[in-house]
């Protein structure tokens, strides 16, 4: 038999990607104790020990490392844990995802997962804003700090300490995806030239990063399945009534289901970011309803009423109809949510190139997202940003 017959499939197989474990939510969150096995879009022969590749590497300090601050930047040159190696099949899912050595691998996998999503929305790779000095992002999976940060050439993760229980952010997809949101938006808009940035730059940056986290999280099949099954397809439960949202185990959903308008928030950056995040989440839900109505799985009236004004009676009727439709065709609901997620995610990604980081207002950023969207999604984004008092109609 010709040797080429064997060689060709082996190469194609290697190019398929690489397997890792990722926890879509930290493993202490009920319902998320088991990680998902994911394929990342990076060929096995392009990952070296560490793991490391052309875009990033893991540096896992052996002793407590202080976070980078002004005057201290990568690379980390102190002693490190030995680089983690792939298994004999060159995948990383042979490792115990709860082991200490997996922390860096998990952070690396989350970074790639988020990049894969946003590469696909942008339809081209993201080039780090720090690439002229650092071609690779340094990922530090554990620093001696109760916080996480991304900066010029690095992403470093500390831990939360609640009642003496330390939980590393390296196992927290939400935190890593949020920090990736900062790196992605800065890489697309470029760094602001001056230090005198307007308030809105920081507010937008926080809001955008939380949306990156939410939309990236919705790329886990298991997350979408859990969300739809728990609500029986009715995302209004999360949105308007807030019954589940307050106790929702997913941080992203807790943040996104808020009713704040710009006239109701303080000057504090994270508080000020809430209306923007809320407008994005509402637009995903609106786009989801639009798809369900189009496919005949929900009533057309759903699109004509302002959902914030639904009476308890209307709401109950809608919930029953949705639950019935969901139990007979759950896949249609999943398709609707995936399409809605991607319509809004793509518009967010494409809006970034229209922004000037030195002259950024929340209203301009919102209008850029509306302009990058199409059809019904664009209309809903516009209306939701108006309701949140971010876009002021002229
Ligand atoms: Zn942030």
pLDDT of 291 > 80? The answer is yes
pLDDT in tens, 32-76: 899 999 999 999 999 999 999 999 999 999 999 999 987 889 999
Distance 182 CA to ligand 1 centre (A): 7
Separation between Cα atoms, residue 84 and residue 69, nearest integer Å: 27
Distance 190 CA to ligand 1 centre (A): 17
Give the pLDDT mean for 120-143: 97
CB within 8 Å of 393: residues ≥ 6 apart: 386
Distance 203 CA to ligand 1 centre (A): 9
Distance 192 CA to ligand 1 centre (A): 16
pLDDT of residue 274: 92
In contact, 218 and 225? CB cutoff 8 Å: no
Measured over the CA atoms of residue 229, residue 234, residue 237 and residue 239, the dihedral's sign is: positive
Burial of 262 from C-beta contacts in 10 A (0-12 / 13-18 / 19+): middle
Distance 88 CA to ligand 1 centre (A): 38
pLDDT in tens, 147-175: 999 999 999 999 988 888 899 999 999 99
Report pTM: 0.92
Separation between Cα atoms, residue 205 and residue 389, nearest integer Å: 18
> What pairs with residue 36 in β-bridges?
22
How much of the chain, in percent, has pLDDT values that exceed 70?
90
In contact, 356 and 189? CB cutoff 8 Å: yes
Structure-block tokens of residue 374: 């199409």
Distance 287 CA to ligand 1 centre (A): 27
Distance 166 CA to ligand 1 centre (A): 21
Distance 267 CA to ligand 1 centre (A): 16
Distance 150 CA to ligand 1 centre (A): 8
Distance 316 CA to ligand 1 centre (A): 38
pLDDT of 367 > 70? The answer is yes
Distance 212 CA to ligand 1 centre (A): 11
pLDDT of residue 251: 65
> What pairs with residue 39 in β-bridges?
19
Distance 126 CA to ligand 1 centre (A): 19
Note the residue count of the chain. 394
pLDDT in tens, 223-281: 899 889 888 888 876 543 333 344 456 666 666 677 889 999 998 888 899 999 999 99
pLDDT of residue 237: 63
Separation between Cα atoms, residue 228 and residue 222, nearest integer Å: 10
Distance 54 CA to ligand 1 centre (A): 25
pLDDT of residue 4: 45
pLDDT of residue 247: 46
Distance 202 CA to ligand 1 centre (A): 9
Closest CA to 25 of 213, 238, 277: 213
Distance 175 CA to ligand 1 centre (A): 9
- Mean pLDDT of the chain, nearest integer: 89
In contact, 127 and 121? CB cutoff 8 Å: no
Distance 103 CA to ligand 1 centre (A): 21
Distance 178 CA to ligand 1 centre (A): 6
Distance 95 CA to ligand 1 centre (A): 30
Structure-block tokens of residue 201: 């730059």
pLDDT of residue 207: 94
In contact, 350 and 121? CB cutoff 8 Å: yes
Distance 239 CA to ligand 1 centre (A): 23
Distance 142 CA to ligand 1 centre (A): 18
Measured over the CA atoms of residue 117, residue 385, residue 258 and residue 242, the dihedral's sign is: negative
Distance 383 CA to ligand 1 centre (A): 26
Q: What is the β-pairing status of strands 154-157 and 148-151?
A: antiparallel
Distance 309 CA to ligand 1 centre (A): 33
Distance 252 CA to ligand 1 centre (A): 13
Domains of the chain: 17-189 (3.10.170.10), 199-387 (no CATH)
In contact, 53 and 46? CB cutoff 8 Å: yes
Residue-by-residue DSSP string for 136-165: SEEEES--SSSSEEEETTEEEE-EEEETTE
pLDDT of 2 > 60? The answer is no
Distance 107 CA to ligand 1 centre (A): 17
pLDDT of residue 219: 96
Secondary structure tally for the chain: helices H, strands E: 13, 8
Measured over the CA atoms of residue 242, residue 243, residue 246 and residue 247, the dihedral's sign is: negative
Distance 163 CA to ligand 1 centre (A): 24
In contact, 377 and 283? CB cutoff 8 Å: yes
Distance 207 CA to ligand 1 centre (A): 8
pLDDT of residue 232: 87
pLDDT in tens, 72-114: 899 999 999 999 999 999 999 999 999 999 999 999 999 999 9
Distance 93 CA to ligand 1 centre (A): 30
In contact, 255 and 210? CB cutoff 8 Å: yes
């Amino acid at each position: 038999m010709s040797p080429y017959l064997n060689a060709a499939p082996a190469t194609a197989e290697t190019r398929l990607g690489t397997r890792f474990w990722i926890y879509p939510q930290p493993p202490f969150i009920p319902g998320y104790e088991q990680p998902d096995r994911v394929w990342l879009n990076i060929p096995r022969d392009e990952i070296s020990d560490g793991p490391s590749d052309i875009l990033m590497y893991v540096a896992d300090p052996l002793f407590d490392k202080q976070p980078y601050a002004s005057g201290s930047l990568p690379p980390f040159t102190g002693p490190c844990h030995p680089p983690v190696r792939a298994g004999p099949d060159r995948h990383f899912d042979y490792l115990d995802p709860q082991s200490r050595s997996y922390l860096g691998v998990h952070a690396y996998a989350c970074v790639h997962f988020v990049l894969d999503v946003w590469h696909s929305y942008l339809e081209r790779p993201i080039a780090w804003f720090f690439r002229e000095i650092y071609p690779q992002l340094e990922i530090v999976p554990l620093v001696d700090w109760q916080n996480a940060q991304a900066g010029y050439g690095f992403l470093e993760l500390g831990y939360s300490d609640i009642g003496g229980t330390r939980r590393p952010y390296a196992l927290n997809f939400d935190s890593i995806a949020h920090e990736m949101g900062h790196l992605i938006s800065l890489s697309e808009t470029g760094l602001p030239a001056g230090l005198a940035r307007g308030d809105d730059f920081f507010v937008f940056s926080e809001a955008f990063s939380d949306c990156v986290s939410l939309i990236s999280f919705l790329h886990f099949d298991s997350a979408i399945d859990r969300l739809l099954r728990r609500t029986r397809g009715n995302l209004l439960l999360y949105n308007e009534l807030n019954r589940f949202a307050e106790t929702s185990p997913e941080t992203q959903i807790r943040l996104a289901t808020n009713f704040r308008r710009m006239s109701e928030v303080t000057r504090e950056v994270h508080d000020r970011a809430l209306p923007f995040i809320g407008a994005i989440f509402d637009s995903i839900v609106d786009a989801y309803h639009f798809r369900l109505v189009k496919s005949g799985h929900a009533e057309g009236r759903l699109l004509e009423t302002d959902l914030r004004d639904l009476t308890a009676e209307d709401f109950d009727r809608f919930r029953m109809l949705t639950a019935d439709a969901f139990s007979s065709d759950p896949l249609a609901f999943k398709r609707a949510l995936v399409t809605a997620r991607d319509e809004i995610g793509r518009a967010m990604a494409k809006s970034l190139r229209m922004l000037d980081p030195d002259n950024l207002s929340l209203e301009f950023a919102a209008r850029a997202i509306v302009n990058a969207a199409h059809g019904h999604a664009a209309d809903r984004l516009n209306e939701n940003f108006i309701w949140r008092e971010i876009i002021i109609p002229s």
